[in-house]
Amino acid sequence: MDSKSRENGRILVLVEREGPAIAPITFELLGMAKKIATDLKGILCAVIIGHEVADVSKKIAYFVDEVYSIDHPQLTSFNSELYVSALEQLYKDVNPDVVLMGCTLDNLDLAPRLAYKMGVQVITDCVQFAIEPETGHLLCTKPVYGAKVTSIFKLVKKPYMATLRPKAMEPIGSGSTAGKIIHFAPIIDESSVKVKLIEKVKEESTGLKEAEAIVAGGRGVKNAEGLEELKELVKVLKKYFRKVEWGASRPLVDAGLVPSSRQIGLTGEKVAPALYIAIGISGSLQHLTGILGAKKIIAINTNPKAYIFTVADYGVIGSFEEVVPALNRKLEELQ
């Protein structure tokens, strides 16, 4: 990609990784950042922080104009205090116009700390960004009040800083030439760290955010036998979709039937599958907040007045014990 002068503003995207791979949210962020860079006549940049990140830097370079690589042994594992220190030093040197991050667990800790250090505001969990034509300020759209309302917040002090909800944007496509890789060496003072990691408690890895189809159960599923019915539907759907997962609303988690890693909603995972099948779920606003990005919703419920039917594309009024086996048989026939 063509290099541009230092006079152009920079739109920086913090690269998110899943192990050695680049997380999908990074490409979604870059897709939105590219539009912002066009509107502001700025330079699209990626920031990679960690240790031994040379290969990742080379890969991401084909999507941006510049890659800022922060590579240090003490940054191998995520530590919000060290990451904030390194990024603050970079941003003061680069002086970006916009800083975008994914709305991930780590960044929910990192973004507010970094915004405070930079003396700016941060808007989290956004689903859309736009540049206000008259002022050049960043407009951030996000659901509020349990997704009852969608509001637009304006950032007026640079660097504009915000986080993006996964699956809210289309990912960027790769360019034909690589952007410039710039190595940045911050001063890392590990003695300044006040919080230390004692232990990581691993829960089941579900992959709900990457699922193309999700079967979710609610209070109406009642018990472990009901959950087995859902899992049978998951098996059948795997013949139609590359990745299928099962999840639940909060009542099944509170009842101890489902691990919290599979909870979908305001206090759980936020998902955006091509197909979402809600079984025995009433449709509280807390749950609907977690499925805003779903392309098609099918609801199965015995209560014809269940709120889930107001947002569903298709609804079936009936007992899931009868509906799900019938649906399985039909899907098997079509296959």
Is residue 67 included in any domain, yes or no?
yes
pLDDT at 2: 42
Is residue 5 included in any domain, yes or no?
no
Same domain, 213 and 188: no
Same domain, 163 and 36: yes
| Nearest CA-CA partner of 161 in 191, 204, 221, 117 | 117
pLDDT at 203: 59
What is the phi-psi region of residue 322: left when phi exceeds 0, alpha when psi lies from -120 to 50, beta otherwise?
alpha
User: Residue 308 maps to which CATH number?
Assistant: 3.40.50.1220
Q: Which residue has the higher pLDDT, 286 or 315?
A: 315
pLDDT per position as a tens digit, 158-215:
999 999 988 788 889 888 899 999 999 999 888 777 777 777 666 555 688 889 999 9
Is residue 146 included in any domain, yes or no?
yes
* Residues near 141 by beta carbon (within 8 Å), at least 6 away in sequence: 126, 127, 128, 129, 130, 150, 151, 152, 153
Instruction: Please say if the pLDDT value at position 242 is more than 60.
Output: yes
What domain range includes position 146?
A: 10-192
The whole-number average pLDDT for the span 296-314 is 96
Q: Which amino acid is at 116?
A: Y
The whole-number average pLDDT for the span 43-69 is 96
Mean pLDDT of the chain: 91
The whole-number average pLDDT for the span 216-233 is 94
Buried b (16+ CB within 10 A) or exposed e, 132-170: eeeeebbbbebbeeebeeeeeeebeebbbbbbbbbbbbe
Last residue of a domain, one of 132, 161, 192: 192
Is residue 71 included in any domain, yes or no?
yes
Same domain, 226 and 325: yes
pLDDT range class, residue 1, cuts 50, 70, 90: very low
d(CA 254, CA 257): 8
Structural domain count, the chain: 2
pLDDT at 113: 96
Same domain, 224 and 170: no
Name the strands in the sheet holding 98-102, side by side, starting at the edge strand that comes first in the sequence. Answer: 122-126, 160-164, 98-102, 10-14, 43-50, 66-71, 180-183
Is residue 148 included in any domain, yes or no?
yes
Percent of the chain topping pLDDT 70 = 95
Last residue of a domain, one of 192, 216, 242: 192
pLDDT at 149: 81
Same domain, 103 and 26: yes
Instruction: Please say if the pLDDT value at position 91 is more than 80.
Output: yes
pLDDT range class, residue 7, cuts 50, 70, 90: low
pLDDT at 270: 87
pLDDT at 262: 92
pLDDT per position as a tens digit, 248-294:
999 999 899 999 889 999 878 889 999 999 999 999 988 998 898 89
pLDDT at 6: 46
pLDDT at 199: 75
Is residue 240 included in any domain, yes or no?
yes
Same domain, 217 and 187: no
| Nearest CA-CA partner of 217 in 230, 208, 206, 204 | 230
Is residue 1 included in any domain, yes or no?
no
Is residue 202 included in any domain, yes or no?
no
User: Residue 178 maps to which CATH number?
Assistant: 3.40.50.620
Query: Model's pTM, two decimal places?
Result: 0.75
pLDDT per position as a tens digit, 17-34:
988 889 999 999 999 999
Q: Are 68 and 184 in contact (CB under 8 A)?
A: yes
Q: Are 26 and 103 in contact (CB under 8 A)?
A: no
